[in-house]
Structure 1
């Protein structure tokens, strides 16, 4: 079994797979599920609550830079209340930088839609060779030239940052 996130296909049974047609960017990473009994939402919230300080710094820099071209300030990834009851989350609510788009026991899909692009992120639970895994998939639809420029910068960084972020779920909490 793998010990770090590995690039994999977007699971065809996932809700986010329906967003792949026409996508300008997509990827998916998987790793062993450290809490196979937990719902996908709990895994997502724990992942976001463990956002490293350097990632929050990058988000602050991103927000400053995109503000110069009229894009919205997304805020930060962290600041998640792990004491909030899971059954209080509703589709349409914004938590962190994303709006909850779809919610089930095995998959949570988050979305942000701005004038330059729409990004959707899914955390889903599944099996590989009979072992439980978590999969984090991202699908991006670019709306215009600004979105293409944005993704030319963010796309390569995303491919480095997402595996590092996802790897946080297997490390002991500090």
Structure 2
């Protein structure tokens, strides 16, 4: 399962707002032989596919930035229950991430804060009219609102470039397992 850096997809909702200070995209392929994986599955998987060390980094981040009055995800007491109830609909919030927009093939997550605004696009692209093979592209876009946003992002950037490919790999693994589980149930 190869994950690679790529350009922002031309059909991404983020393409309309190109006034960002930082942007990157990573892509990975997944197989959807049953045609059952939709953008809501991808969105939910985004919140459940990361390794535990990423949760630890976010916890550390929340403690640190809370001292500066920045937004944090707050205390999540029952993550599994929150995930079960989460529908990935516009306006819903999961931790620090709000669903800002959604189409059949893309979800835009993000948040605006006093130091920076960020957007994350999760975009499914069908490959060569073969709807079984799909490409998932995660794009991150950041707009700095002041000097503190630029300063904040200096130590975040290298971690971001490590975290996103790992999360993408986890999402791909998770959705392919969903397909496998569905096939087993149908037998």
What TM-score, normalized by structure 2, do the two folds share? 0.80
Q: Is residue 26 of structure 2 the alignment partner of residue 29 of structure 1?
A: yes
Q: Partners of 1:100 and 1:70 in 2: how far apart?
A: 22
Q: Partners of 1:28 and 1:94 in 2: how far apart?
A: 23
Q: Contact (CA 8 Å) 1:49, 1:79: kept in 2 or not?
A: no
Could you say which residue in structure 2 is the equivalent of 1:12? 10
Could you say which residue in structure 1 is the equivalent of 2:183? none
Q: Contact (CA 8 Å) 2:71, 2:96: kept in 1 or not?
A: no
Higher CA-based Rg:
2
What is the SS of the residue equivalent to 2:79? coil
The within-5 A match list for 1:45-124 is 45-75=44-74, 79=79, 81-84=82-85, 86=87, 89-124=88-123
Q: Is residue 162 of structure 2 the alignment partner of residue 149 of structure 1?
A: no
Post-superposition offset of 1:128: 4.7
Moved more, 8-17 or 67-76: 67-76
What is the SS of the residue equivalent to 1:171? helix
What is the SS of the residue equivalent to 1:49? coil
Q: Is residue 139 of structure 2 the alignment partner of residue 137 of structure 1?
A: yes
CA displacement 1:1-21 (0-9 Å, x = unmatched): xx22110111011101112x2
Gaps of 5+ in 2: 178-187
What is the SS of the residue equivalent to 2:114? coil
